[in-house]
Structure 1
Amino acid sequence: MVDQSRSEHILELAKELLDDVELSRTSAESLILKASRLARWVGSEEIRYWLKLEMQGYNSSNEISLRYMTITGRWVDREKRKGYWGPLAQQEAAIIAEQAKLHAMRVPDTAGDMAFIATKKVTDEMASSTSYISKLSGIKSRVLAKLHEFVSEIYYEKQFDSLSESIFERYKSDVDSLIGESCGEVIEQIPSVMSRLAEGDQEAISQSLTTCRRVIDSFADSIFPPLEETIEIGGNQLSLAANRHQNRINAYIHQRIDSNTRKKRFRQNLANLYDRVSTGVHNEVTVEEARALFLNTYLLIGEILHLPSNDA
């Protein structure tokens, strides 16, 4: 529940920030403060430090600071280390002040030499203010673009994670229900596998794979109990005896689907899976591989249980 709340909080904050940036509905200082909160949850150390620079101002002694001076277009003369070192809020305030100054400027409505000089002075000041505003606006635009890039990556990553979790949780609930109805013994063994995988040591991994194999065997016994007779599949007579678990699972599949291609895929997946969980009991297997084998077992059982019934 805590992880879910954290994930939801990150997604909500990222969405709010994207809207703030795209709709220009809040100040630069507010954006940076809010982005810093997001960065504390998921940002890299570099991003967190960059946002700190945007709040407190840049410096000439740090490599990240100098790199982001370039990224945000702050240099006036890089060789002489001249540039706009102030935080984003300072640049935004300077833009507002300069725009007000520019708005108040008026070209004198007089004639003569003095008027020419006065007019030139005003037009030069207007050009200077316009250039200054353009430079500062460029810095602000670059900062917002970098901020948008950071927030977008977080937002779409978390949105995908949330969607994936939602899809898997719905599927898991459905599979758990089918397992509970069709083969209760199987679902009772699943927590044991998960518990051992959480331990992570080699003995626990070996035990978890042993249980995975038992899960497959129990599954076979539940959906297709042993028979003394045989069944013909693909021109081969297959025994349905108690120790022929794969044959009985394949017989169950054979009775429910017509596609030979799909039957073959099921058969190969089952054979590979059974072989890996069986040999993994005696050979070294990483915890990541063991988790993948368990998940494959679970998903295969779920897919088989979703096949139509005999009278469908």
Structure 2
Amino acid sequence: MQEKKVALQVIEESLKELESPKGSILSAVQKLQRSASIVGDEEKRLWCSIQLGDSTYVHPLKDLSDFLVEHQDPSTSDYEEGISKRIKILKKLGLNHEIHFTNEEINIKLDASGGGYVNIGFVEERYADLVRLKKGNDGTYYKNHLNNHLNYVKKKAHELASDLYKQLRFSGTVSNCFDLLRDAVDDKLLDLNPVISEQLMLAFKSVSSKKEEEWSQALTTCRRLIEALADQLYPAVNDKSSGRVLGQTQYVNRIWAFMDASIESKSNKELAKAHVDFLGSWLEKINKLSNKGVHAELGQLEATKAVFHIYLMIADILEYMEEKPESEGKPDINLATIDEIEALLGVNRTIAKEIFKYRVKEGGLDCESLSKIGGVGPKTIQKAKQEFIIDE
């Protein structure tokens, strides 16, 4: 744990160097290499060694570059044999084409007037000298070519450092598992309602920010998201469910009612409803604090907890919406998923969702109630009788 803390601190320093107009690329690469060494990221460490001019890797890479310059006809047998031989040597050293000798990197390093495979610190010095002397070149090195080299290394180093930072900052089993959950929910929710899906992804992005105002915005987005989700799943009605008002502003109650009507298992139903109750109460508390201007208590942790809770709750909802019971013969329309309704009735996704929402709202469907839904005509009713178990 201590090593991870040190590596994270060092990689943060590397990123600061790379993001500062006056930062040293040499220092940034050295720090990236140190951090990579601490955590055992061999690919990044080797890339840094190349930029620092380590002869173990630079000599065979330069040999490959020289060969490419001398043999520019890839159709010859000499070319194929020569390339194969040199790549085998590089692979034995642990280098791979995707990161250590990409076409872009080789093209940059091929240019001797831009420094080639020398230490990146030397490239920085030569460039600084030419800028100070207001000269375009010194007969060996050209300012523009050196600048191209520096820009490439800076960009690539920032890419690798950012990747390592994310690994260190968010690594661990819990984070990795959450990534799986988040990706699955985002994909399914996008199909159900793109607007809500976009709001959820925006909230997740906001809690990852370093800006306090975005954390507060994430909480506001969470509340709006739940309201939109409630409208999607269980539109407001004047009735009550188990003593709960189901009006427009009672969005938590409406999600609760949806779960109450959708979940078969009593134990699962109680657990899911308890989760909704907890999330609703917790968000109300946060909103009250926010309205009172109590900003000290509304930090990144609170915003992150809100987003995590919503992902878990939506994962439950989507699971129950797509639950497919085992049955023989025709499926029951009152147990069918949105996908089944869409496919078997031959309607578009929007109408399928309206049918599903109406079923949830009314507690069931029969031919008479189905005919009341917009977009459902006699042909669809006949199709329902053919494909589903449905009461007249």
TM-score under structure 2 length normalisation: 0.35
TM-score under structure 1 length normalisation: 0.43
Bigger radius of gyration among the two: 1
Structure with larger RCO (C-alpha < 8 A, sep 6+): 1
